[in-house]
Amino acid sequence: MIPTMILFGLAMGRWWRSALIGSALFLPALGLVGGALHGPADVVLAAGLGMANAAVGIAVHQALLLAARRFG
C-alpha cells in the first residue's frame, strides 16, 4: 500500500489538500474492509501513515512543477 499511496500523491499533487484528505480516508477504509484494522487506534494510525506516504508523492510532484517552471 505504501507505493500506491505515494503514486496517488504523485498523481494528485497539484490538488494537494484533496490528496491528503483522500489518502487519510482511503487507507483506513481499505484496512477496515480487508480486516487488517481492529480498533480506533489502528484507524488513526492508518490515516496518518496514508497522509505521510501521500505527502512524499505530493512533495515530488511539487518539486517537479517548480523545476519545470524555473528551468522550462
Q: What is the pLDDT along the chain (72 residues), one digit of tens a residue?
A: 889 999 999 999 999 999 999 999 999 999 999 999 999 999 999 999 999 999 999 999 999 999 999 997
Count: domains in the chain: 1
Please give the residue range of the domain that contains residue 51. Answer: 2-71
Give pLDDT, residue 1: 82
Residues 6+ apart with CB under 8 A from 60: 9, 10, 13
Answer yes or no: are the C-beta atoms of 51 and 24 closer than 8 Å. yes
- Record the pTM: 0.89
Q: How far is CA 17 from CA 9, 12, 26, 47, in A?
A: 10, 9, 14, 14
